[in-house]
Amino acid sequence: MRPPARALLASSAGVEDVMLKRILTITLALVALCVPAQAGAAVPPSFVGVVADGPFFDPSVNVPGEFDLMVASGVQTVRVQFSWERAQPYPGWDFVPPDQSPRFVDEGGIPTDWTKLDEVVTAAAARHLTVLPVLVTSPAWAAIPPSTQASPPKDPATYARFAAAAVRRYGPGGAFWGQHPELQAQPIHYWQIWNEPNFRVFWRPKNWPRPYVALLRAARKSIKAADPTARIVLAGLPQQSWIAIRKIYEAGGRRLFDIAAIHPFTSKVTGAVEIVRRAEAVMREFHDGHKPVWLSEITWPSSRGHTDTNFGYEVSSKAQASKLSSAFATFARLRKQLRIQRVYWYTWVSPDKSRVYPFDWSGLSTLHGSSLVRKPALAAFRNTALALEGR
């Protein structure tokens, strides 16, 4: 799902436990070198995160088992797509095929299927993992045509109604928690509004800032009406993140989000830090320097030698593990200075197949057929995360 990125700062389950232990042993020395002594201090809850998307939800993947492995590996929070398109594919009950109607419930007159999202929230809650929902992908009936993942809604109000429905289900006092008394209620308080609108892969209109701010405004109003305590997370901004966030401020977005989100993709960890610094300088310029920052995606794809397309930060599997350890340790060390509250690795599982799209090689594991193969980066993640958490 990752879009191409200009290398702006280019200078800068299936496998057996014994195999995973072997990988952990092989990479232990590497991780020890990469994690500085300062990393021993425990980071706050929900600092260490991963994205779960794509092959993670393949029918062959044991999702509860993967959540168990996440917990054992130090994951504290999981970022998951809450796909509007999948939840509300039909504009009304008259459009629902009779054989499909049992899976839908009524949300303000819109047939809504919460099944897949219920499964994810259940698995996370049972393991006390925080969920960060990313509200994305317009259904065809609501999208600017032609309908693709890049199509924002024609009317922001339709997106806002879906956002409010999600809050009423999974937020404080939500219907989901009432239906699952066996779970300790862990209502969702943070809601991320769209993903990377400054990339045409995720937002088709070229002049994106004002339409995105309109969407942000509508979503914030609707979400806050459903849960006044909710916090709005800005869409993750990749590439020249500081330019994108400036455009959001210039379009009137300053008071519409509570947390800024950056995707600092670049070749070096020092370059990723510089991207965050530049974005924060813009925030201070607009008198918004008090707001926290989340890195809702960081990654170095292990696609070197496998793809014909290169963005400038492709690495080997061994280097991916090293970059991961260094990045998490560095941002943990600088978290107070840079106001960084969370860091999410992109992604938990990837297909590792594409010859043209390096981000398809970003996972800590890869799905080969119906089997998951663990990469050195998973061992690096585990050792780094547990060290950062003081465990």
77 touches 49 (CB < 8 A): yes
Average pLDDT for 203-217: 95
Q: How confident is the model at residue 19 (pLDDT cuts 50, 70, 90)?
A: very low
Task: Specify the pairing of strand 110-112 against strand 105-107.
Answer: antiparallel
Pairwise CA distance, residues 213 & 197, whole Å: 10
Classify 300 as helix, strand or coil.
coil
What whole-number percentage of the chain has pLDDT above 70? 90
Residues 351-384: pLDDT tens digits?
Answer: 999 999 999 999 999 999 899 999 999 999 999 9
Is residue 38 pLDDT above 90, yes or no? no
Q: Note the Cα 268 to chain centre separation in Å.
A: 21
Q: Which domains does the chain have, with CATH numbers?
A: 17-35+42-388 (3.20.20.80)
pLDDT band at 2 (very low <50, low <70, confident <90, very high): low
Q: Tell me how far the alpha carbon of residue 161 is from its chain's centroid.
A: 22
Please state, in angstroms and rounded to a whole number, the distance separating the CA atoms of residues 14 and 230.
Answer: 38
Q: What is the pLDDT of residues 43-83, one digit of tens each?
A: 999 999 999 999 999 999 999 999 999 999 999 999 999 99
pLDDT tens-digit series, residues 161-176: 999 999 999 999 999 9
For residue 178, what are the CA distances in angstroms to 168, 170, 252, 271?
11, 10, 38, 46
Does the structure show a pLDDT above 70 at 316? yes
Kindly state the average pLDDT of the residues 27-44.
48
CA dihedral 36, 41, 45, 51 (to 10 degrees): 10
Nearest CA to 324 out of 301, 294, 308, 342 is that of: 301
Give me the chain's average pLDDT, please: 91
User: What was the pLDDT predicted at 21?
Assistant: 40
Which is it for strands 190-193 and 260-263: parallel, antiparallel or unpaired? unpaired
What's the pLDDT score for residue 149? 87
pTM attached to this predicted model? 0.90
Q: What's the mean pLDDT in 279-300?
A: 98
